[in-house]
Structure 1
Amino acid sequence: MKLSVRLSSALFLLISILSLVACGGGGSGKGGGNKGGSDGGPNTSAGGQTNPAFPTATPANVNGGYKGSLYVRYSDGLGRLDADTGIMEFLYNSHEIVWASKDGEILSTVSLDYYDGNFVRVYDSRGILQYTFKFNGSPTGVPKVSPDGKVIALGYNISRGSRGVALFSPNGTVIRDFVDDENGYLNGYDWTNAGNLILIQGNSFSEVDFGPDKDYASGEPVVFASTTGTPLNLELSPDETRLVFDRIADDGFRHIFVMSKDGSELQQVTATPGEAEYDPTWSPDGGAIAFRHGRDWLGCALGYVGGICYGSCPTLHAVAANTSMANVATGNPVFFVREVQDNTYYTMCAFGPPTWTETPALEPYESGTAMEGEGANRGLTGKLYYAFTQTDFLSLDLVTGVEQALNTIRSRYITNPHVRLNSDEVVFERASHQLPGLADNDQIIIQNFAAQEIASFYIEDDFTAAGPELSPDGKWVAVEWSPLSRNSPSDGPVVTLFDREGTFYNDSRFVNYGDYEWASDGSLLLSRFHRLYQTRALNVSDVTEIASFPATIFNIAVSPDNTRVAFSMANHLWVSDINGENLTQLTTSGGSEWNPEWSPDGRHIAFTHLKNGTDIHGAWVVPADAQRAYVGEAGKVPSSAASVRGGSGFIAVSGPLNWTE
């Protein structure tokens, strides 16, 4: 698995998306590392009025007793925060901003990529992509899918000083375009449950009725209310009787306002002196409003170092909807929305507008068969082999917790070492830039654990070679190989076979396959995007599709009895029967999970977990019959996922794991 990140330092690009993402392309570890919320202080607002208070955070009451899911772009990407438990589930690694339907079943995002263009993507509740399209222009809001799922509304800059709201079909065709006129900018939009469109234009609120047949090319805006202060970021309440938005107040700063849908009963909810609140969203029951509050966005965007944001990035807060003139700076009655990680409360940085929804109908958390027993790792047996950095290859006795550095490889630069099943042989790659005079050649080395090199060979004319794996009988080395002389630059990676002397097997040029894994019966499994294939004769004329999945799969691993397969999909681990049936999400977390490896008895799966806010992969294990097991300590949510323990505690790894008897 190769990941890459591109960070733009062009200041004008950051400024151009200020209205959407207050921290530009930066990231932050939980509001700069602040822990806990702000629950203390008198129960009064800045104006001296008594307001409803939220209880102090406890494991049983994390976020004021409110329920539902908050979708937001946070430090690691797009995530879903369960308000009740404080659990953050990572969905997608992206610099996009997100919206969700009120039932939480549909997610939509828009990218902020000024080099490759902007893309709208629509996902299901598990973060699995349903469709995408590219559009021209820079977004001024989030894409909102109509209740019937046929149209996506998106605000964007038409030209300098001009904004519009376009209605797109799922294939990206523009059905309708609402543009600015003499009444002012188009600054906000939302859907009613009946599929009408609410718009803000200038200081006026209007509604577009598309008729009973939902002819989205027809209908005109009809003004129903107005205010002052250039309202933005509109959302209709769940019962459709009230509107929430931010607008410029008398102090010259943006604050949160609520009014009835007929334009009466205007109420200023927040009033932090000298600071702004914006991007409001209703709780599912309409009793609270979450919003962003932040300052010094430029310091955050330019001061991001090592996961810490030097500056006050926008933080996520909530307040009772009937509050008036609340002061975020004094805390009560406003509180920080909190995430629970390792039984510690963290405030939430929000790098895009939040959406508060009902909790989607996902599979429940299930721990699976309990891991109980003596020894360092809850009764688990066998040995784990793994790399730590590019020079250390180690083994871990799961019973005793003793780690041992294997001097067979130590001091060499290694990539993705692979231990052959039920043997003491390990194969690894030594990259070309570590071989003087051999810039276009990678070396494949087979060694045993007695410091003996058994075989080695060079792959010539190599663009990149990665992940060598020995077949169960030891005759073949499978390698991802992209030769410089490949047929076409458009050809993707080539999975091919070499014998132990380095002779290329001509019939094994498997083009455009992204991953591979030997089964214990000697067949080779290959993946291409969301499909799984198998070859038993090990040649290109004998490749059979055996399964199809909802999204692209990575890091495939076959169970010892060859009946099940584990893989990473949508940033977490999944398992299914070898034919794709009985698909189950195995893990979830605020980070991501990769590199599954079955235990020799097929009852457990080890994997690597990238923790939120870090760049460290840790080794974990989970029962193979678990479902959405949360990786980490998470208060109210039971989890059977356990960190693999060595003599010094936590095990950090780089690359895949190998689990043997």
Structure 2
Amino acid sequence: MQAGQTPDAGVNQPAANGNLQQNGANGAFSGKLFYEYTGYTTLDLATGAKRPYLPLTTDRFSFSISSDGQKAYVAEQLTFGDIDRGEGTHRYIVVSTHNGQQIDTFPGSPGSLSGMAMNLSPDGQRIATGLLRNGWNGDAHLVVENRHGEVLFDFTEAGYTGAFGWLPDGRMVATDADGWLTLIDRNFNPVRRIRQFSGPGRPGRMQASPDGQRLVFNWNQRIYVMNIDGSNLHQVATSDLWESDVAWSPDSRWLVLAHGESTCPQLTIVNADESMVDVSYATRDPRAHQVQAATGYQGKLEPVCGRSVSWR
């Protein structure tokens, strides 16, 4: 077998935590997936056990999972008012991913949630999200809030209008209108430009690997990986529809992708070193592992649909 090649079906693969184990519901992959689909849900990869822990409501716009996987931070719209004038108010609730019990709550800054995916800092003290507010002419601004309801930094006002994400050490990356991805320090000062992206789209859903060495993101409805310095850019997957979401495994070696119809985005695991893995619905690519849960009759394994996926 060549380096970087995924073992054939039936062979134990390295588990996400770096240990080997007997084949489970999803081969040798372990850890938990957290996602949204008809409710906020956890899935144990080893056993295939799926458990909802919080129901969906129309006022819960987005969520992000803590680094240890124990808590979900959920953005909740409290009042709406005139959205174009940003008259709404919002807050964040913190719930247990085991049973949905509320652990904490803290206010958001004035303004309405735009609906974009929120992004929790590694230490759980800051939230990057999109807001609508009076004076912004109906445009959503990308901001970072703290747990006291204060805006610490407005990326949009500073000229960064594209994707942004956290690094494990608390620094950030953000994309400007010209397509430049820039490294930002903890005080929101630009450190250096990483890479310029051209074409009709800009990168989205930017995520750093847990070891801080690589970035994964959605670009023109496809998933790409590159080194943190901008080198070794490659398209990881291809499909007959689109790839909407992605998350790193805890050991920074694997990716779980959400792809396909928006009504049921299927979850598939691929090696982050691979290129052009076919994750289409009818794929026979041995490098693509379809995530399964024990949800069928008598625990039969079935494919999983999910959005806004995380892996811990």
TM-score in same-fold range (> 0.5): yes
| Superposition pairs of residues 85-164 of structure 1, within 5 angstroms | none
Provide the residue aligned with 1:650 in structure 2. 303
Relative to structure 2, which stretch is displaced further, 435-444 or 367-376?
435-444
| AA at the equivalent of 2:27 | R
Local SS of the residue matching 1:652: coil
Question: For residues 610-653 of structure 1, what are the alpha-carbon distances to aligned partners after superposition, in whole Å with 9 as ceiling and x for unaligned?
Answer: 24xx7421111111111100013657x63412221111212112
1:462 to 89, 112, 123: 112
Query: 1: CA distance between counterparts of 2:125 and 2:58?
Result: 24
Does 2:74 align with 1:428?
yes
Structure 2 counterpart of 1:625:
273
Q: Which residue of 1 aligns with 2:30?
A: 381
Residue 369, structure 1, aligned to residue 10, structure 2: no
Distance 1:453 1:575, change over 3 A: same
Mapping of residues 277-356 of structure 1, within 5 Å: none
Q: Give ranges in structure 2 of 5+ residues lacking alignment.
A: 13-22, 296-301
| Secondary structure of the corresponding residue to residue 275 of structure 2 | coil
Structure-2 change in CA distance of 1:510 and 1:643 (3 Å): farther
Tell me how far apart the structure 2 counterparts of residues 606 and 478 of structure 1 sit (CA, whole Å): 22
The separation in 1 between residues aligned to 2:220 and 2:75, in whole angstroms, is 28
Which residue of structure 2 aligns with residue 513 of structure 1? 161
Going from structure 1 to structure 2, the CA distance change for 1:413 and 1:650 (only over 3 Å counts) comes to: farther
- Specify the alignment match of 1:419 in structure 2: 65
Q: Does the CA-based 8 Å contact 1:367-1:640 persist in structure 2? A: no
Across the aligned residues of Structure 1 and Structure 2, the Cα RMSD in angstroms comes to: 2.8
**What pairs up with 1:52-91 in 2 under 5 angstroms?**
none
Q: Does 1:481 align with 2:131?
A: yes
Shift of 1:574: 1.3
In structure 1, how many angstroms separate the alpha carbons of the residues matched to 2:141 and 2:191? Answer: 14
Q: Which residue of structure 1 aligns with residue 299 of structure 2?
A: none
Structure 1 residues 589 and 423: alpha-carbon distance in aligned structure 2, compared to 1, 3 A threshold: closer
So what's the TM-score if we normalise by structure 1? 0.40
- 1:574-598 Cα deviation digits (max 9, x unpaired): 1111122111111011111122100
Higher relative contact order (CA 8 A, sep 6+): 2
Code of the aligned partner of 2:49:
V
Instruction: Give the counterpart letter for 2:265 in structure 1.
Output: H
**Contact 1:402 / 1:647 at 8 angstroms: preserved in 2?**
yes
CA contact (8 A) 2:90 2:112 kept: no
Asked if structure 1 preserves the Cα contact closer than 8 Å seen for 2:49 and 2:294, the reply is: yes
Is contact 1:553-1:569 (8 Å) kept? Answer: yes
Aligned match of 2:15: none
Which of structures 1 and 2 has the bigger CA Rg? 1
**SS of alignment partner, residue 467 of structure 1:** coil
Secondary structure of 2:257's match?
Answer: strand
> What is the alpha-carbon distance in structure 1 between the residues aligned to residue 139 and residue 190 of structure 2?
20
2:80/2:88 contact within 8 Å kept: no
* Deviation at residue 453 of structure 1 after TM alignment: 3.8
Amino acid at match of 1:499: N
- Provide the rounded CA distance (Å) in 2 between the counterparts of 1:444 and 1:515: 23
Instruction: State the distance in 2 between where 1:638 and 1:652 align.
Output: 19
Q: How far apart in 1 are the matches of 2:289 and 2:132?
A: 37
Measure the CA separation in 2 of the matches of 1:377 and 1:522: 32
Spell out the pairing of 1:544-623 with structure 2 (5 A cutoff).
Answer: 544-551=192-199, 552-611=202-261, 615-623=263-271
Q: TM-score, normalization: structure 2?
A: 0.80
1:400 matches 2:47: yes
Q: CA 1:574 to 1:437, structure 2 compared with 1: closer, same or farther past 3 Å?
A: closer
State the distance in 2 between where 1:589 and 1:410 align.
29
8 Å Cα contact 1:482/1:493 also seen in 2 = yes
How far apart, CA to CA, are the structure 1 residues paired with 2:257 and 2:228? 19
Distance 2:191 2:161 in 1: 11
Shift of 1:460: 2.2
Identity %: 22
Runs of 5+ consecutive residues of structure 1 not aligned to the other structure:
1-365
Q: Deviations over 1:250-276 (max 9, x none)?
A: xxxxxxxxxxxxxxxxxxxxxxxxxxx
| 3-state SS of 2:122 partner | coil
Equivalent residue pairs, number: 282
